[in-house]
């Protein structure tokens, strides 16, 4: 894949669409790439996070977090581990390659560097995350109202 392909894939990934070409170029050059064969484990549940991943090619399957749920398969431009871009913690699930795949790992250190160098992108990402949190809070309020009504 060439640089233009990498930038297009990153730009289509959640959160990264807020970044301009120069920020995406920096990510593409500085991020670590990892190739996976079918069946390879990207990470396991309860492992410490070391960054988020953008799927550059192939398919990755995320194990269900709850019993009796179906696994989720994601492909090109999917962002796996959004919070791991910013914070270190534990992985909530297992991720395994279904097909040959390539991922780009973006560490919190690299993400911080890009956001410091491109403050407009940082503001846009902050706004998107704030909107997501607001929607979550509203959803929880609706659930609480339903529980209170019963």
Domain boundaries defined on the chain: 3-149
Question: Residue holding tokens 């019993």?
Answer: 67
Reply yes or no on whether the pLDDT at 127 is more than 80.
no
Q: How far apart are CA 79 and CA 81, in angstroms?
A: 6
Is residue 8 within 8 Å of residue 49, measured between CB atoms? no
pLDDT tens digit sequence for 39-73: 999 999 999 999 999 999 999 999 988 878 899 99
Cα angle, residue 2 at apex, residues 106 and 73 outer, rounded to 5°: 50
Per-residue pLDDT of 22-31, as tens digits, reads 999 999 999 9
Q: How far apart are CA 10 and CA 53, in angstroms?
A: 10
pLDDT exceeds cutoff 80 at 128:
no
Predicted confidence band of residue 1 (pLDDT cuts 50, 70, 90):
low
Residue, of 99 and 147, whose pLDDT is higher: 99
pLDDT for 9 equals 94
Homologous superfamily (CATH) for 3-149: Jelly Rolls (2.60.120.10)
pLDDT (0 to 100) of residue 112: 93
Q: What is the pLDDT of residue 137?
A: 80
What pLDDT is attached to residue 123?
80
């Amino acid at each position: 894949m060439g640089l233009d392909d990498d930038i297009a894939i990153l730009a289509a990934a959640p959160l990264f669409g807020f970044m301009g070409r120069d920020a995406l170029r920096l990510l593409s050059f500085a991020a670590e790439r990892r190739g996976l064969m079918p069946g390879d484990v990207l990470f396991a549940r309860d492992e410490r996070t070391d960054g988020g991943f953008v799927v550059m090619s192939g398919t990755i399957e995320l194990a269900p977090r709850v019993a009796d749920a179906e696994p989720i398969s994601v492909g090109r431009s999917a962002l796996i581990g959004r919070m791991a871009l910013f914070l270190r913690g534990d992985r909530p699930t297992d991720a395994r390659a279904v097909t040959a795949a390539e991922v780009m790992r973006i560490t919190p250190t690299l993400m911080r560097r890009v956001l410091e160098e491109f403050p407009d992108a940082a503001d846009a990402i902050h706004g998107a995350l704030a909107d997501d949190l607001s929607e979550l809070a509203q959803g929880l309020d609706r659930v609480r109202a339903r529980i209170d009504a019963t």
